[in-house]
Amino acid sequence: MKKDKAESLVFEIKDKSELMVDLAYSSLIYDNRIIAEEVYDLENLIDELYQDLQRETLEEVKNRKLLVDDALTLMKLAQAGEQIADAAQEIADVVLRDVELHPVLKDSIRESDIVFTRVQVDEKSILCGKTLGELKLASETGMMVIAMRHGNRWLYGPTGKTRIDPGDVLFARGPEDGEKHLIELARGETREI
């Protein structure tokens, strides 16, 4: 294993744990069991990635291809991401156990500078048939699409090449004014990005 592979595993753990936090809060806000279950699935994936990183990193130290200090740094970074994933799973667990979220907590989540939104793309929307890269939603609206559902298929961390089709459900985060604009775009109420 090259150090580059270990670093890429650390980045994958970091990216997926960040996504899990967003999805966990979305599951709370929308009381959505499907999203909460996805958080659980991602946590299991992160556990596997973390174990792979530990095994491979230790093997490289044994074979003298990686310095002990570098290996410790990589494992500590990965452990932090794994702990974030565990915390996200605990948040999602509130939804899966059907615990009623206290209204004050729900309001405090909503009062954050960053909002999470879920919107279904209407067939008359200008978003249809275009990629996220073409639309530049993040730079134009401030809303970053963090996940999408196309039928029963989920896509986490969509890229600029990801195409939006009618009926797709977008999960996005960003400023409140951006949320309103994204909803209007997805519903076909406005055609100007």
The mean pLDDT value of the chain amounts to: 89
Task: Kindly state the DSSP code that residue 65 receives in the 8-state scheme.
Answer: S
What is the reported pLDDT for 35? 85
pLDDT of 1 reads 45
Point out the residues of the chain with pLDDT beneath 50: 1
From residue 141, how far is each of 24, 25, 132, 138, 170 by CA, in Å? 23, 21, 12, 6, 14
Q: Could you read off the pLDDT of 61-70 as tens digits, one per residue? A: 999 989 999 9
Query: In this structure, are residues 117 and 147 in contact, taking their beta carbons and an 8 Å threshold?
Result: no
Q: What is the pLDDT of residue 111?
A: 66
User: In a 3-state reduction of DSSP, which class is residue 120?
Assistant: strand
- pTM of structure: 0.69
User: What Rg value do the Cα atoms of the chain yield, rounded?
Assistant: 19
pLDDT at 3: 54
pLDDT digits (tens, 9 = 90+) for 93-121: 999 998 877 777 767 766 667 777 889 99
Q: What is the pLDDT of residue 192?
A: 87
Element containing residue 18 per DSSP (H, E):
helix 3-29
